[in-house]
Amino acid sequence: MFTRITNSIIAWFEKQAFGVCASIGNRLGIKSTTIRLYFIYLSFFTFGSPIILYFILAFLMENKKFFLPSGSVRKRIWDL
C-alpha cells in the first residue's frame, strides 16, 4: 500500500516538475532520486540559487524542438 502511494506521488511529481532531474540522471547513469537530493542540499547551502538553473533547464527541455535543427541529423567528427 505504501509503495503504491509513493510510486504515484513520484509519478505525479515527475509530470509536474518537468522531469529535469530524471533526464539528468538518465544521461549520467545516476538515479534521479540522488540528483534530487543533491539539488535540495545545494539549494539549502546556496540559499536557493540552483532553482534558477532548474528553471532554465526546464525551459530548454520543454522547448528543445525550437533549439535543435529539424530534419537534420547531428554529425559526428568522424563523418567528415
Model pLDDT for residues 37-60, shown as the tens digit of each residue: 888 888 888 988 888 888 888 888
Q: How far apart are CA 41 and CA 31, in angstroms?
A: 16
Q: For residue 8, is it within any domain?
A: no
Write the Ramachandran bin of 29: left for phi over 0, alpha for psi from -120 to 50, otherwise beta: left
Q: For residue 56, is it within any domain?
A: yes
80, pLDDT greater than 80 = no
Q: For residue 38, is it within any domain?
A: yes
Domain count, the chain: 1
Please give the residue that has the higher pLDDT: either 6 or 42: 42
C-alpha cell at 46: 546556496
Q: For residue 28, is it within any domain?
A: yes
Q: For residue 4, is it within any domain?
A: no
Range of the domain at 27: 19-65
Q: For residue 36, is it within any domain?
A: yes
Q: For residue 71, is it within any domain?
A: no
